[in-house]
Every structure is written in C-alpha cells, then in structure tokens.
Chains A and B, each alone.
Chain A
Amino acid sequence: MNSLTLESIRDCFDGEIPAIIATCAPDGVPNGSYVSQLHYVDADHVALSFQFFNKTHANIQANPVAVVLVANPVTAARYRVKMSYLRTETAGPVFENMKAKLAGIASHTGMGGVFRLQGADIYSVAGISAIPGSVLPTPPGRSLLAAVRQFSQSIMRWNELETLLDGSLQEIETLLGVRQSMIHWLDETAERLYLVASRGYAQSGVGSEIQLGQGVIGSAARARTSIRINHATSEYTYSRAAKESVRQSQLADRLEAEIPLAGLPAPGSQLAVPIMARMQLLGTLYLETTEDSQFGYDEEDAVVAIAQHLGLAAHMLEQTGERLDELPRRSAGPPQPSGQPASIRHYRADDTIFIDDNYLIKGVAGAILWKLLRDLETNGRSEFTNRELRLDPALSLPDLSSNLEARLILLQRRLAERCPFLGIEKTGRGRFRLRVARPLKLLEIA
C-alpha cells in the first residue's frame, strides 16, 4: 500500500534542499548528481532544470529512467521518487516559471552568473516511497482555504472596478498578511502592463509600466502562469523590470520613467499571478515580502484562486457596468476656477499631456483627459458617462470596458498625485464629474 502522492510531497520541490538524482548510461555506468531545481508541474509530472549538457541530461536521452531523493524543507521528511523522462521544453509556462525561480535560487546560492536555464526536462512520476527516519512536526499555519472563502465572499461587495482592485489588495493584506501588493492592467496594445492599484508603498507608482516578458510580472503575464520566487534575486526585482521596460521603449514611453516606482528594493519573496477572464489576460496580481520563502505551493494556489475570482468579478462588472440605472451621487457644486491659469499641452501624436511643463500621462488616458477638457471648454460640460467615452470614435477604445475603467482609475490617480486642481469624481456607476479648480489654457500641439 502506498498512499503517497506527488501533490502531497510537493513542498519538497522548492529548491530549498538540493535533490539528488541518479541515472544510468546505456553502457551501465550509474551517475549521481545534485539538482538545483526540481519543479512540481502537476499531480503526475515534475520538471528538472537543464542548465548545461551534463551527464544526467545525456543519460536520460539514452535511458530515460531516473530516481531522485528529495526532502521536505520544514519537516525533513525524505522521499525517493522514481520517474521517466518525457521531453525537454524550452518555452511556455513551465519553462518561464523555472527560469524565474532558478534566478532566485542562483542568487541565493551565490551562483548568479552560472545558472541559466536551457530547458525544462519533463518527467512522469512512476512511484514515491518514504525513507524511514525522523520527521519534525508541521508548524500550524494560516488556513488558506478559509482565506479564499472569505475573499470570495468579500468580492461580492465591490461593484466598481476601483473598489474591486483596492478592496482586493486590502483583503489580501488582512487574509494573507502580505502588506505589499500591486495590480497591473494590460494596455490596449497587449504588449505592456500599467500599474493601476498598489498597496503598502511610499510611492503608489500608478501609471508606471512593465513590458510583457520583463521581470517576474511581465514573465507571468506573457506565459499566462503564476511565478513564485522565494529568494531575493536582483534579476527579477520590480524596479529593474520597470527600468528595463523604459529603456527598451519608444521615446514617448520613456516619460513614464518620471513616475516614481513602487516595489520593494530587495524583495525576499515574490509572487506574480495573471488575472484572467474567459481565457483573456486582463492584468496581473503581484505580492512581495522582504522575508525569504514566504510563498509556498499552497500560498500560490490560494493567490491564483483569488486572482481567478478577481478576473471573473472584473469581467462581470464589464457586462453589467452601465445597465444599472443608478441615481447620480450627490455632491457639492463644482468649485469656481480661481487663481493663476494653468497651461495644459496635448501632443496629438501620442496623446501625451503636460501640465505646466510637467508630464502627466499619455496614450488612451491622455486622450480621454483631452476630450473631457475640450468638452468643458467648448460646451461647458463637466458631467460625463463611461458610455459616451466608449462610443466616441475619436478615442478608439478597445472592446474591453474594463480597460476603459482601468484607464479612468489611472487618470484619476495620476491627477490626484500630480495635479491637485484637476480631478475626476465618481458620481455613480459609469458616471463621473470633471472638477477644475483653476482656470485652464488648452494648447494643442501637432
């Protein structure tokens, strides 16, 4: 009788304690080797990092059987896992995941310049046996299932994208004890993500961008997979990814570099999870801590489930967004503009907006702001609806209404941080008011 499953011992596959793998050449010479990374793929498969053409890699190509010794990093329970080599993957979710994780292990073990993932060797597991010996008790932990249950109940309270995003990050702190987190949304080019909500940083970083494939967030988004790093690695820090994204981008995008970044300077643990709905990528949820090894497989599962709820909730808000006939919220009348006029320049080429020579925003959010300001100037209007923005051919908004919502949140937050005399106030679901406290001088630049 053997009740051990791969899933029940997956904590052994986290690179904390090097595994030992034995293989055998076709001429009968056995080989033993230390493994820097064994990765749990699913209930029947594991993957081994392949960094160099070594004896293990050569042996399994000719004789695809292997046996591995692993140990639980908390309880010291040891297991012997028999497995068969299937194939080597050089792209895709498993590869991206291992690549990011390997960077963490490499820098943790002082091998940063040496480890570089060539491929993920995928094995199917044939049998697991426990090695007799001492086992330490498992320390009591937070109930992650209870946390996910609580989150799935909380999420029903939030009926706007803004409260959904902020509420989710707040709830993650309460339920999981993770104080630093951010949400990026995919922009209309589907090549970049922009920060739309963050929690726990001195600078909100709203509006800063990450290119797909860059850092742990960009890699998770590109490969549509969760990525978890348990040791500090300079290669995958948020600030490095954001700076790289800026370096590789067009001139207009470099203005984003003026936005102060959120992100811990040296995170010990990182977890990036794609936010999806109906197989479409909406954005990413990212958690980090200063301490090492805070996120295990179970924490990853919990955050993936939370991100799934978040994605579905965002999608449902999109579907019902403007059908509700909600009465506008009451608010004091708009203040009369007073004081020195502010000059607002709009560059038509990329919808960049400068306020008194300071960069504010670009792209869709810039185009939206310019439309609102023009409407105010020519028609005296200050009340708007999301619907009219979506239908405005001049804005050419993408289909996803969550993207418009997210852009409005971005615009609102950038204004709140950078331009106190201009503001966007929600007046109801799908409605808002433009608040202008100083006279404006609009300048259109071709």
Chain B
Amino acid sequence: MILDDDVASFLASGVSISVASRSADLLPSVARCKGCVVKRTPITRLRILLSASQAGDVLRDVETTHTISATFSLPTTHRTLQFKGTDARVVPLEADEGQAVANYVRNFTATLTGELGVPLEFVSAFLASPADEVAIEFTPTDSFLQTPGPRAGSRL
C-alpha cells in the first residue's frame, strides 16, 4: 500500500489516534495512542506510539495475534481513516520517537484547544501518561474511510 502525501501527513498530524486488536478467542482490546510515525521505504510501515501502562490488553493481543486496526480522526472535521494489518509487533521506540511523541502531544493539544476550545488544563490531563511509550509497527494492508456518514466503512 502506498500512501499519498496528504494521507501520510494527516496520520502524522494532530489527530486523535487509537488502536484496536483482539485476543486469540476474538475478544477485542483498545487503546488511545500518542503519535504515529510513517515509514515509506522500502514499503509503507506505520509505527503507532502509545503508553504501555495505558494500553490495557492491546500489547498482549498484538503479540499473540498480530492483528491491528489503527484509527485516525480529526475532531474539527471528523475526517477519519482506518488502517488494518496482520503483521503487527510491539517494539521499543527508536531514537527520535520520544520527540515524535512530544510533537504529537503538542499538535493534538493545539487541535483541541484551538477551534474546539477545550481548556488546556483538561487536555494536559487527558493526554498525560507515564513515560513508558512503546511502538506497534505494522504493514497496512487495508484502509477505510470512516468519516461519519453513509459512506463510512468504504475502502480508500
């Protein structure tokens, strides 16, 4: 799957990010995330950054079943994209990804405090997590438009 520049920059911008996985017996798990790094060579890989202690069963499920669904949504426009993969793994952050988390928190904070007028104090608490981020890396094999409306769920 090749992402165009618009989509790639959307994924790395101040959007709401979440991941879902599932256990061996099909019980779903979900976590809110703290950034996304898009690798475009040699093939498209997405690295979703998230706090390990806030991830619930997601890390265990990814390690067990390697299935993932990552959702990106911009609250101001409701534009929502979802990517799915079946080769997901939990890996440590790379050297520059601590900075990527900080950038993401800054950008998403700007999204929420800007047009939406959410108080900064609230956003800071809402996005707070222990500094225990890990990455879930996967090859996106399917992508869907999920912007609310009758076309939600259609393939990109």
Report B-chain residues with C-beta under 8 Å of the C-beta of A55: 144, 153
Give the bracket for the number of chain B residues in contact with chain A: 35 or more
Tell me the residues in window 123-140 of chain B with beta carbons closer than 8 Å to chain A beta carbons: 124-126, 128-130
Tell me the residues in window 10-60 of chain B with beta carbons closer than 8 Å to chain A beta carbons: 16, 18-22, 26-32, 53-54, 56
Name, among A22, A54, A129, A136, the residue most crowded by chain B CB atoms within 10 Å (CB to CB): A22
Name, among A23, A76, A129, the residue most crowded by chain B CB atoms within 10 Å (CB to CB): A76
Are B30 and A63 within 8 A (Cβ)?
A: no
CB distance from B51 to the nearest CB of A (A): 8
A20 within 8 A of B: yes
CB distance from B66 to the nearest CB of A (A): 10
A242 within 8 A of B: no
Are B148 and A30 within 8 A (Cβ)?
A: no
Are A51 and B67 within 8 A (Cβ)?
A: no
Given A22-B28, A76-B126, A114-B149, A30 and B75 touching (CB < 8 A)? no
A34 partner, pick from B67, B69, B80, B144, beta carbons under 8 A: B80
Q: Give the tally of cross-chain contacts (CB within 8 A).
A: 121
Are B69 and A30 within 8 A (Cβ)?
A: yes
B103 within 8 A of A: no
B70 within 8 A of A: yes
Report A-chain residues with C-beta under 8 Å of the C-beta of B153: 52, 54-55
Are B71 and A52 within 8 A (Cβ)?
A: no
Tell me the bound Cα distance from A100 to B154 in angstroms.
28
Tell me the bound Cα distance from A67 to B69 in angstroms.
14
A216 within 8 A of B: no
Tell me the bound Cα distance from A63 to B25 in angstroms.
11
Tell me the residues in window 12-47 of chain A with beta carbons closer than 8 Å to chain B beta carbons: 17-18, 20-24, 26, 28-34, 36
Given A69-B32, A133-B129, A54 and B152 touching (CB < 8 A)? yes
Given A65-B27, A80-B30, A36 and B70 touching (CB < 8 A)? no
B111 within 8 A of A: no
Are A66 and B28 within 8 A (Cβ)?
A: yes
Are B28 and A134 within 8 A (Cβ)?
A: no
B125 partner, pick from A24, A132, A134, beta carbons under 8 A: A134
Are A67 and B128 within 8 A (Cβ)?
A: no
B128's nearest neighbour on chain A, judged by CB, is A134
A71 within 8 A of B: yes
Given A54-B152, A76-B122, A29 and B67 touching (CB < 8 A)? yes
Are B31 and A69 within 8 A (Cβ)?
A: yes
Report A-chain residues with C-beta under 8 Å of the C-beta of B28: 22-24, 30-31, 65-67
Chain A, residues 50-78, CB within 8 Å of chain B (1/0): the string is 01101100000001011111010011101
B109 within 8 A of A: no
Report A-chain residues with C-beta under 8 Å of the C-beta of B67: 28-30
Report A-chain residues with C-beta under 8 Å of the C-beta of B56: 67, 80, 129, 131
A135 within 8 A of B: yes
A8 within 8 A of B: no
A331 within 8 A of B: no
Tell me the residues in window 63-80 of chain B with beta carbons closer than 8 Å to chain A beta carbons: 65, 67-71, 73, 75, 78, 80
A80's nearest neighbour on chain B, judged by CB, is B56
Tell me the residues in window 73-110 of chain A with beta carbons closer than 8 Å to chain B beta carbons: 74-76, 78, 80, 109
Tell me the bound Cα distance from A76 to B148 in angstroms.
25
Report B-chain residues with C-beta under 8 Å of the C-beta of A18: 16, 73, 75
Are A29 and B84 within 8 A (Cβ)?
A: yes
Report B-chain residues with C-beta under 8 Å of the C-beta of A54: 152-153
Report B-chain residues with C-beta under 8 Å of the C-beta of A17: 126
Interface residue tally for chain A (C-beta within 8 Å):
43
Are A131 and B19 within 8 A (Cβ)?
A: no
Report B-chain residues with C-beta under 8 Å of the C-beta of A21: 30
Are A32 and B122 within 8 A (Cβ)?
A: no
B121 within 8 A of A: yes
B149's nearest neighbour on chain A, judged by CB, is A114
B148 partner, pick from A115, A132, A136, beta carbons under 8 A: A115
Given A65-B26, A134-B124, A136-B121, A20 and B149 touching (CB < 8 A)? no
Given A33-B71, A133-B125, A20 and B148 touching (CB < 8 A)? no
A376 within 8 A of B: no
A77's nearest neighbour on chain B, judged by CB, is B125
A316 within 8 A of B: no
Are B71 and A78 within 8 A (Cβ)?
A: no
Tell me the bound Cα distance from A348 to B39 in angstroms.
82
Tell me the bound Cα distance from A4 to B146 in angstroms.
32
Tell me the bound Cα distance from A67 to B21 in angstroms.
11
Are A22 and B84 within 8 A (Cβ)?
A: no
Are A68 and B130 within 8 A (Cβ)?
A: no
Report B-chain residues with C-beta under 8 Å of the C-beta of A66: 28
Tell me the bound Cα distance from A34 to B149 in angstroms.
12
A110's nearest neighbour on chain B, judged by CB, is B78
A146 within 8 A of B: no
**Pairs A-B, 10 closest by C-beta atoms:** A22-B20, A22-B30, A32-B20, A76-B125, A134-B128, A22-B28, A134-B125, A24-B22, A30-B20, A76-B126
Can you list 25 pairs linking A and B with CB atoms under 8 Å apart? Answer: A22-B69, A26-B26, A28-B65, A29-B67, A30-B28, A30-B67, A32-B19, A32-B20, A32-B30, A32-B70, A32-B71, A33-B146, A51-B148, A52-B150, A65-B27, A67-B28, A75-B125, A76-B126, A109-B78, A111-B148, A129-B56, A131-B56, A132-B129, A134-B125, A134-B128
- B residues with a Cβ closer than 8 A to A are 16, 18-22, 26-32, 53-54, 56, 65, 67-71, 73, 75, 78, 80, 82, 84, 121-122, 124-126, 128-130, 144, 146, 148-150, 152-153
